[in-house]
Amino acid sequence: MKKYRLSVVLFVLLICTFLLSISSINVLGSSNTLEFTFEKDVLYSESNPLYDDSFNVRNQTTFTGHYLATYSFENESGLIGNQIDFIDIYDETGEPYISVNSSKNGHNEILEFYNDDISSNTDLENNFIEIIEGTIEFWFQYDGNGERFYFQLWDSSNVIAFNMILKTDNVGYYDSENNLIGITTLIPNVWNHYKIIFNCTADIFDLNVNGILEVDNGEMRNDVDSVDTLYLWARNGDGVNYEWIDAIGYSWDKTGYTGTHFDVGTEEGTPQGIAWDGTHFWVVGITNKEVYKYTSAGVYTGTHFDVGTEEGYPTGIAWDGTHFWVVGLNTDEV
């Protein structure tokens, strides 16, 4: 076990004053921009104990590894298939399996696709109101065993408006002529953040991967007036395949993205994990293998410490009230 000790001495009065000033610190992040989002359906009644009338946001002051969004799966660990709130229509061929797993590389409660049958695949639909333009964000990770994962937006007649493929080694999309356009490489067993901004009137979209604009005014697959379905389709590659998705956020969700964010790219170009200690954010990444300290407003404090000696590929960090715990891919240890 490797642990990093942080001694924090605060006056009780300052602690109380500070905590009362916090509206929320739950985070859905891109690689260089950490974006504050809130969970689906938690604020529709003032009887909810988490309701905060002054901000109309969920008031939670402890980051627990849940990257909250429209669908964060945080209370669904162990559920499978149609038991999961996100899944409206679920189909499987062969021996696939969709469940909410407890954790993966610093993300808690994530949607897991499992398949050990090379001839099988699985797909699901999430239905929402008809949207002409909007933004969808999510995290994705795969195991690199030759699988293909399709992320599509459909209209009410099941016409594909947007078609992105995440497969071994690369990310691409299909244009209006059904040509596959390569975008960027895909590294297995690492969380990557995707942000899709689409406009059905102009039939174009932008795609950001880990905070970097990879596609500017890309062509939609088909000309549609609006979309109302997110369709996910996992196809088996070679042998056993795993894919994971977390924190699927819709801009039209009224408890969604608030517009608050802060940049960490100056300190860490490929951040992978974030922790909250009750006062500050701490961000760890794989470029510098350092942990960086930020205020609640996202201002870098100048404090950082190295974890590269213990873990050369850190992907997650947690705070237990006394110590930091860092997990990574090189040693497979905490």
- pTM equals 0.61
Give yes or no: residues 128 and 217 share one domain: yes
Q: Are residues 114 and 151 in the same domain?
A: yes
Regarding whether 245 and 265 lie in a shared domain, the answer is no
Indicate whether 123 and 188 sit together in one domain: yes
Whether residue 131 is contained in a domain is answered as yes
Count of CB atoms situated within 10 Å of the CB of 11: 8
Q: Same structural domain for residues 14 and 105?
A: no
- Residue (of 280, 274, 296, 275) closest to 21 by Cα position: 296
Within a domain: 299: yes
190: left (phi over 0), alpha (psi -120 to 50) or beta: beta
Count: domains in the chain:
2
Nearest Cα residue to 29 out of 59, 68, 64, 63: 68
What is the structure's pLDDT at 94? 53
Give residue 297's domain range. Answer: 4-33+261-328
pLDDT in the model for residue 59 = 35
Does some domain include residue 52?
Answer: no
My answer on whether 208 and 228 are in the same domain is yes
Answer whether residue 240 is part of any domain: yes
Q: What pLDDT was estimated at residue 119? A: 64
Residue 74: its pLDDT value, please?
A: 80
Q: What residues have CB less than 8 Å from 194, skipping those under 6 apart?
A: 137, 138, 139, 140, 151, 164, 207, 208, 209
* Pair (144, 219) in one structural domain: yes
Q: 225, 250, 275: which is the final residue of a domain?
A: 250
Contact 67, 137 (CB under 8 A): no
- Measured between alpha carbons, how far is 131 from 219 in angstroms, rounded to an integer? 18
| pLDDT at residue 90 in the model | 84
326-334's contacts with Cβ under 8 Å and 24+ in sequence apart are 326/2, 326/4, 326/273, 326/284, 326/291, 327/105, 327/106, 327/273, 329/105, 329/189, 329/190, 333/1, 333/2, 334/1, 334/2
Instruction: Choose the final residue of a domain: 222, 250, 278.
Output: 250
The per-residue pLDDT for 92 is 63
Residues 20 and 130 in one domain: no
Q: Tens digit of pLDDT for each residue in 169-201?
A: 789 999 999 999 999 888 888 888 899 999 999
The whole-number pLDDT of residue 20 equals 33
Token pair for 294: 């930020």
- Residue 195 belongs to domain with CATH number: 2.60.120.560
Instruction: Please give the pLDDT value at position 219.
Output: 96
Q: Is residue 269 part of a domain?
A: yes
User: Are 62 and 242 contacting, i.e. CB atoms less than 8 angstroms apart?
Assistant: no
Specify if 154 maps to a domain.
yes
Asked if the structure places residue 64 within a domain, the reply is: no
pLDDT at 32: 32
What is the model's pLDDT at position 203? 96
In the chain, which residues have pLDDT < 70?
A: 1-68, 92-96, 117-120, 146, 236-239, 254-260
Q: Do 246 and 137 form a contact (C-beta atoms < 8 A)?
A: no
Shared-domain flag, residues 230 and 266: no
pLDDT of res. 169: 74
Q: Are residues 284 and 219 in the same domain?
A: no
Of 250, 278, 307, the residue at which a domain comes to its end is 250
| Whether 121 and 20 share a structural domain | no
Query: CA-CA distance, 185 to 57, in Å (whole number)?
Result: 36
Per-residue pLDDT at 140: 92
**Collapsed DSSP state (helix, strand, coil) of residue 96:** strand
Output the pLDDT for position 66: 62
